[in-house]
Structure formats: structure tokens, C-alpha cells
Amino acid sequence: MARAKANILEKLREQMGFLRASLRAFYEGNFAESVRIATTIRVLVHETGSSKALLVQAMPSGLELQIFDRARERTEHEHILGFAVSVRLGSTLAPAVDLGSSHYSLSSVGAWWNRTVFTFPSQFGTQMVYRRKQVVLILANKEGGAHVDENEDPDYRRLMTDSPLSFAISGVRLATPDLARFLTAQSGVEMLDCLKRNFFPDEEVPVKWEFGVAPPVAQYMDSISLTPSVIDPVFPRAEVHVTKRN
């Protein structure tokens, strides 16, 4: 027997509550909550041959609903490294999301779900391309959201170990953050706003989320890209383009 519409909306509100609770815990410093966030996003938007996304159960056009997504910076040069995940610069890279940033624009849930979020050359010479769907499902299906896979996913491992993703500020090397977890939490913030926007307008949902307390003067990076500028026969040179807000 098909669920009544009221029951589906009740389940949708439950998932919104799960998402909000996990986001609060994540931005308080429990980054492991990212796997729960991933599982909630999977319930809401992921479809297979035998299961229908909860958003689609709530509304047939559920994957066409509006959601805030990263506005891509256009460049005539080919990116050799690029990703879009909000962080705050400091002694470490701290996750931070501001949906009021000019780098956001409205998109459809389906396009958001399938958006490329990381791209970089691996240390083995191949180009790595990650869609949001791939990153979120790795955390949900393999890294503890709903299941821990016996074998570590090699694509997930590359996000933490590949040399192009090393970070330094003023010459000081920083520990490489778990970008998959940062991206998933950021996606959770975007999805929470989507649920409010389309189903529960009276719900209180913060526009800004960040780990810890920001210093009086803080610098935020919304996206990073590395594009070639001059190619030397021996050593490639490049410019780093950092899209930031102060």
C-alpha cells in the first residue's frame, strides 16, 4: 500500500531533523557526523532501480526543486586542479559555509547531485574527477553511514593523500583535511536550506555555519583552482586562483 502524502511529509520532516542535528554536531567539531549527513542526503535524493528518492515521493518533480549550488568561476584556461568547498584559513583549514555568499546561485537538485566537485591530476598521472553523488555515496555506503566496506575505497583515499591536494599557508604545511567530509557537510547545509525553501518555510535554518569561533579578521576560501600560465620545457609553472571572501 502506498504511503499517504501526510506520512511522506512526516518522514521528510524527520530527515530534516536528522540533518540539522548532524550538522550542528559536525560544526561543533564532531566531523564523523559527516557519514550520517551523507546517509540522510542519500535517503532524500538517491534513486536506484528498486528505490525512489524521498524528495520524489514527496513531489514527482522533486529532483527539479531549487537548491543553492556553487557558482562556477569561468576561465579560458583548462583547470589542472579545482574544487569548491568552503573553508576558513588559519593554523588549520576549518569548514565554513555561508549561503549568502555571492558564489552561490540556485540550481536544480538533480544538477546539484551530479555536479563535479573535485578535479585534479593524481600522482599516477591520471585526471581524477569526482561528482557530489560519488563523494556522498562513498561516505554513506562504504565509510560508515549505513555500511563499512571491507576494503577502503581508493578514490576516497586519494582525496586525503594525493600530492596536488597538499596545503600550506605562509610556507607552513597544513594537514590535508578530509575534503570528502567537508564537502558532504557543506552539501548538508545546502540540502537543509532546500527543505526549508520548498517544504517547511517556517523552520529556523541558519544561513552561516562554521567550525569554532572565527577570529575578528578571518579569511574564507570558497573555491580553489590551479590553471597553467607558462609551460617550461622542464618545469610547468602555474597561477593559483583563490576565490575568497573576507
The pLDDT value recorded for residue 231 is 38
The pLDDT value recorded for residue 234 is 38
The pLDDT value recorded for residue 216 is 79
Secondary-structure percent of the chain, ordered helix, strand, coil, rounded to 5: 35, 25, 35
Instruction: Tell me the β-bridge partners of 242.
Output: 224
Do 81 and 121 meet the contact criterion of CB atoms below 8 Å apart? yes
Task: Provide the 10 A C-beta neighbour count for residue 170.
Answer: 5
d(CA 241, CA 132): 22
The pLDDT value recorded for residue 156 is 78
pLDDT along the chain (246 residues), means of 10: 88 96 96 96 91 93 94 55 78 88 92 90 78 93 77 78 71 80 95 97 94 83 62 39 47
Instruction: Tell me the β-bridge partners of 220.
Output: 88, 245
The pLDDT value recorded for residue 154 is 81
> What is the Cα Rg of the chain in Å?
19
Task: Provide the 10 A C-beta neighbour count for residue 88.
Answer: 18
The pLDDT value recorded for residue 239 is 42
The pLDDT value recorded for residue 127 is 80
Distance of CA 47 to the CA centre of its chain: 19
Q: What is the dihedral of CA 209, 214, 218, 223, to 10 degrees?
A: -30
The pLDDT value recorded for residue 152 is 81
The pLDDT value recorded for residue 16 is 97
pTM of the model: 0.86
